[in-house]
Amino acid sequence: MNLHGVKIGALTTPNNVFLAPLAGYTNGVFRNICRGLGAGLTFTEMVSAKGLCYGSEKTEQLLYTDENYDGINAVQIFGNDPAYMRRACESEALAPFDLVDINMGCPVPKIYKNGEGSALMNDIPLAQRIISECKKSGKLVSVKFRTGLDDSRLITPEFAKACEDAGADMITVHGRTRDKMYSGEVNFAEIAAAKRAVKIPVIANGGVFCRADAEKLLGETGADGVAVARGAMYAPWIFSEITGGETPDKRGICAAQMQKTVEIYGEKFATVFMRKMFAFYLKGAAGAAAYRETLFRAASTQELSEILKEMPL
């Protein structure tokens, strides 16, 4: 694995293995755990620009960052109004963040139908106005997008160049079209075409579930780094594996994640959230189905702690 820092404007990351933003999962506790396991950069869940402009309490909760986090603070925002996007970047809520990532790849229907996320790939001039307005805030700006809307409309290098021309400091390319959502083969050639089209860093995203996947993605695309999404959700220790770190105490990590989640988000949220996370962490383990049934019957983090002691991690 060719590990190296990635220069984003005036910042340089510790390495080129990043945690991609994951709606509903990359909260402050999870990001801090992934950073501790070796992630060179982590992103918040996607946050509504309008929600930030109107001071939504729920929106600002998504921005919580652990006081012990020692990495570059990066946030992902979404929206389709250049003025609101700039206001969000200039908001007090985003003051602690060094890098703002603009979501131009979310395929979820309610986001797409609202003209946000991957819908912005339909309107390159609007996408460029959004990027340039966000840059006026003085923040470093990156953009995450897909290879196109479907295989008949692959526009990766064109869109990559448009992002660079509008002022983006980095791009992340999810190597699937919008219609494929999160499944199907990753299009290495399209990510490679984006890399050839621009001078700014290009991060490849899609299909990384182990070190070999990360090495193949980098090797096939020539990208500057990889962004791990579902692979981290199933096993945050993937960052230790990819970066060659020490073998982590998985059970200890799970216990620490649950404890901190209770402290920050409360018992009710922590019980529901950690049931899901522990179920993900069981992927591929012997007897996983039976353990998942037990997990989803748990009514408290205390019950989850007892189940954790026996889980085959």
What is residue 58's predicted lDDT score, i.e. its pLDDT? 82
Residue 45 pLDDT level (bands cut at 50, 70, 90): very high
- Here the tokens at position 54 are 């109107």
pLDDT at 147 over 90: yes
Domain ranges (residues) in the chain: 7-243, 250-308
Longest dimension (CA), the chain: 54
What is residue 199's predicted lDDT score, i.e. its pLDDT? 98
> What CATH fold (topology level) applies to the domain 7-243?
TIM Barrel (3.20.20)
Query: What separation in angstroms does the CA of 174 have from each of 119, 168, 180, 219, 246?
Result: 15, 16, 11, 16, 29
Cα–Cα distance, 53 to 17 (Å, whole number):
31
Q: CA dihedral defined by 253, 256, 258, 261, rounded to 10 degrees?
A: -120
pLDDT at 200 over 90: yes
Residue 23 pLDDT level (bands cut at 50, 70, 90): very high
Q: What percent of the chain has pLDDT over 90?
A: 93
34 noted as active-site residue = no
Cα–Cα distance, 69 to 32 (Å, whole number):
6
> What CATH fold (topology level) applies to the domain 250-308?
1.10.1200
**What is the arithmetic mean of pLDDT over 252-261?**
97
What does the pLDDT look like over 267-304, one tens digit per residue? 999 999 999 999 999 998 998 999 999 999 999 999 99
Cα–Cα distance, 226 to 221 (Å, whole number):
10
Residue 48 makes CB contacts below 8 A (sequence gap 6+) with 56, 59, 77, 78, 79
**What is the arithmetic mean of pLDDT over 43-70?**
89
pTM: 0.96
State the catalytic residue, choosing from 34, 53, 89, 106: 106
183 burial type by CB count under 10 A (0-12 exposed, 13-18 middle, 19+ buried): exposed
pLDDT at 60 over 80: no
